[in-house]
A = this chain, B = another copy of it.
Amino acid sequence: MEISQLGEFGLIDRLTQEFPIRNSSTLKGVGDDAAVMEYKDTRVLVTTDLLLENVHFDLTYVPLMHLGYKSAVVNFSDIYAMGGTPRQITVGLGVSSRFTVEHLEQLYAGIRRACEIYNVDLVGGDTSASHSGLVISITCIGDAPADDIVMRDGAKDTDLICVSGDLGAAYMGLQALEREKVASAGQSDFQPDFAGKEYLIERQLKPEARKDIIGFLRKEGIHPTAMMDVSDGLSSELMHICKQSNTGCRVYEDRIPIDYQTAIMAEELNMNLVTAALNGGEDYELLFTVPLTDHERIKKIPGIKLIGHITKPELGCALVTRDGAEIALKAQGWNSLAGDREDETAPADGTEGTAEDAPGASEAE
């Protein structure tokens, strides 16, 4: 069905009809000039993400349902990274005429699934025509008791640096998808082969936010001194924490958690594995620091790896390699403005895509 058959308001009604209200803080959702919420005893957290076609996602291999799911989850991840609980989202959507109502229903099915799993309410949005591909803008509102909120600026000298899960897999998943896209060019009956790369593909297409880790930390009574989610790559995020906390850090190459599928893929592509793990991005794991005294308690939490420690600021931020050498970390990150994912799709007029931004060029390699 063409979108014009429903019109803006008909479309919004159709897409938002199966979103029940789950949170008591949501008083009025979709359907007025603004949503209405109430947060008497908690602080309010707000984060926003803009996802643009062919910059953040490529619809030749990203299913719309996964895209909807991921678009919501990456915002939830930011709320968890503050120590909070996501409660509401608004969805701004720009759609070009090649999209049908059924396409948008798939996208919303993914958003709905994410809202179900993470217990979040859809409370508003804005839907518009676009002349240039799909635009998704999601804002997430969350809350947290004042004492639970963790910023980036509280890390102290000698604090332990912890990270959940493993790193670099989503980046390797992207490489696998891009490689199959190139291989399939022009072949309508092409069957991509992702055998042995299922984890990488899932990490790229359908990441999860680490709600579970926040639960474990609360249960163990651990209050991180600084925390953020790893969306731009570990190296970049560590430097944010150290800059805002006015500290340095040491992370140990042999402590960085990497899945075996990530390692195999790096070998296939002849890429430096640690560089991919440090700078790949889109991991949506939690990076946080805790006082030394929490050492024993941190060990009780499944899936948390202790990767280094905070230092005095004059020591700078460095990776300690397996042979004991120190290499300065570089705040490179997954910088979409510098276009490090854009090598193949950069516009002809481009300021985008420089060799310096390729993961292989990291100083930490």
| Residues on A facing B (Cβ under 8 Å) | 2-4, 7-9, 11, 27-28, 31-41, 43-50, 52-56, 78-79, 81-82, 84, 88, 90, 92-98, 123-133, 135, 137, 139-142, 146, 149, 151-153, 228-229, 244, 331, 333, 335-339, 342, 345, 347, 349-352, 354
The one of B37, B44, B88, B137 that contacts A137, using a Cβ cutoff of 8 Å: B137
- B142–A34 CB distance below 8 A: yes
Alpha-carbon gap, A350 to B131, bound state (A):
9
- A33–B47 CB distance below 8 A: yes
The one of B2, B133, B142 that contacts A351, using a Cβ cutoff of 8 Å: B2
Contacts of A8 in B (CB 8 A): 333, 335-338
**Given the contacts A90-B46, A124-B46, A337-B8, A129 and B32 also touching, CB distance less than 8 Å:** no
- A34–B78 CB distance below 8 A: yes
**Given the contacts A44-B44, A92-B48, A39 and B39 also touching, CB distance less than 8 Å:** yes
- A337–B11 CB distance below 8 A: yes
Alpha-carbon gap, A4 to B346, bound state (A):
13
- B130–A55 CB distance below 8 A: yes
The one of B32, B146, B345, B349 that contacts A152, using a Cβ cutoff of 8 Å: B32
**Given the contacts A43-B36, A90-B46, A149-B36, A52 and B338 also touching, CB distance less than 8 Å:** no
**Given the contacts A54-B131, A338-B4, A43 and B33 also touching, CB distance less than 8 Å:** no
Contacts of A81 in B (CB 8 A): 33-34
- A50–B124 CB distance below 8 A: no
- A135–B94 CB distance below 8 A: yes
Contacts of A39 in B (CB 8 A): 39, 44
25 A-B residue pairings within 8 Å (CB atoms): A2-B351, A4-B352, A9-B335, A27-B43, A31-B152, A32-B228, A33-B82, A34-B45, A34-B79, A34-B82, A36-B149, A38-B44, A38-B146, A46-B124, A46-B141, A48-B125, A50-B92, A50-B94, A54-B132, A98-B349, A129-B336, A129-B342, A131-B133, A131-B345, A132-B132
The one of B46, B54, B98, B349 that contacts A97, using a Cβ cutoff of 8 Å: B349
Contacts of A127 in B (CB 8 A): 337
The one of B4, B132, B152, B337 that contacts A3, using a Cβ cutoff of 8 Å: B337
**Ranked 4 nearest A-B pairs via Cβ:** A132-B132, A137-B137, A50-B92, A34-B47
Contacts of A43 in B (CB 8 A): 27, 36-38
